[in-house]
Amino acid sequence: MPSTYLHGPRLGWPQAPAAVRDWVAERAGTVSGFEDRVGGMSTGLATVVTGDRRSVFVKGLDATLNSAGERFYRREAEFAARLPDLPSIPRLLDQATIAVDDHQWVVLLYPAATGLPPQHPWRAADLTRVLDAWLPVRDALANIPDWPRNDLIAPLFTGWRTIAASPDDPWHELAADWIDREERFVAAATETGPLIGAHVDLRADNLLLGPDGVWFVDWAHPDLAAPWLDPLIMLCDVVASGGDHGDGGEIDVARVWAEHPACAGADPEILIDGLSAFAAFMHAGSLKPPHPAVPHGRAWQRLVSERTLPYVLRHR
């Protein structure tokens, strides 16, 4: 698996606590098989389980050891009922907090979807397919009147501000050129209407491509944003994967931004400002101490920032 694809060691189904496996079996039936999945930020359980009544996807983690992951899972479960009723969004079947000795596990259960994430580097056909499938999701999100603002976006994009305040940072000399553009990007993404419901984490590992469609999963960071933000975050993943023409890939990212309806004809400078802010966010994050629950995260952030910055500098 390419190192640009977010993945790390995950707990396998045989190692999951017996209480968690029993809870899943009560809902899926007698278990006859399983397939552990890779990818994503968490090191917890992510497994497709085949039961004699149905196949399910189960995700779970030890909330006692991973309080941040618990917060994400509970927010995902809370927002599940608000999501549009569309074939491309798997519906939450059940959730539970399960006592395992003196620890608490949070577990979510979804119907199993047949598919795999897009490959890295991204391919042009996969990107077009995903963006096309996103259009009805975007339109449905725009018609949800009570989608709440969670203020999750602005705190993410403060990387250049952090870098500017750190004279020893290797990117410090670049910060003066980008800090105002970062602020402009955040304002455009979070304050300039119309704002609609947003996923805010559309990377390859939160997508599934199957013979019957595209699925958008892991709605753990929902917020209100400009309609172009989710496609822009997806294009950040494309650039970081090496999918752009300038990096030897088969995708003209600037042309996709200019022409695909999912990007809604947004200002070309917004793409560069957003990619720059994303690169700075990843760079600043990579310099923090390792997170004990996500030991692979800092190296991934460093690689993504190093892969994204050249695109930004080519197009500034």
| Residue-wise pLDDT tens digits, 83-135 | 999 999 999 999 999 999 999 999 999 999 999 999 999 999 999 999 999 99
Identify whether the C-beta of residue 277 lies closer than 8 Å to the C-beta of residue 186. Answer: yes
Model's pTM, two decimal places?
0.95
pLDDT band at 8 (very low <50, low <70, confident <90, very high): low
The dihedrals phi and psi of 109, each to the nearest 5 degrees, come to -130, 130
Sequence-distant (6+) residues with CB within 8 A of 157 are 182, 185, 186, 189, 277, 278, 280, 281
| Residue-wise pLDDT tens digits, 11-49 | 999 999 999 999 999 999 999 999 998 877 778 999 999
pLDDT at 5: 67
Which CATH code is given to the segment(s) 124-315? 3.90.1200.10
Query: Is the fold of 13-111 the same as that of 124-315?
Result: no
d(CA 161, CA 171): 11
DSSP 8-state symbol, 6? -
d(CA 300, CA 230): 21
| Residue-wise pLDDT tens digits, 172-229 | 999 999 999 999 999 999 998 899 999 999 999 999 999 989 999 999 999 999 999 9
pLDDT band at 7 (very low <50, low <70, confident <90, very high): low
Closest to 52 measured CA to CA, from 35, 74, 66, 33: 33
DSSP states along 111-161 = E----BPPPSSPPHHHHHHHHHHHHHHHHHHHT-TTPPP---SGGGS-HHH
pLDDT at 293: 74
DSSP states along 257-292 = HHH-GGGTT--HHHHHHHHHHHHHHHHHHHTSPPBT
d(CA 269, CA 181): 9
Closest to 55 measured CA to CA, from 94, 3, 112: 112
pLDDT band at 277 (very low <50, low <70, confident <90, very high): very high
Class of the CATH-defined domain 13-111:
alpha beta
Torsion, Cα of 192, 243, 311, 295 (10° steps): 80
Maximal CA-CA distance, the chain: 60
pLDDT at 155: 86
Which residues are bridge partners to 90 per DSSP?
Answer: none
* Separation of first and last alpha carbons in the chain: 31
Q: Where are the domains positioned within the chain?
A: 13-111, 124-315
Give the CA count within 13 Å in the CB-facing half-sphere of 205: 16
Q: What percent of the chain has pLDDT over 90?
A: 86
Report H helices in the chain: 18-28, 67-80, 124-142, 159-164, 172-190, 229-240, 253-259, 268-286, 297-315
Tokens of residue 181, six digits = 């553009």
The dihedrals phi and psi of 298, each to the nearest 5 degrees, come to -65, -40
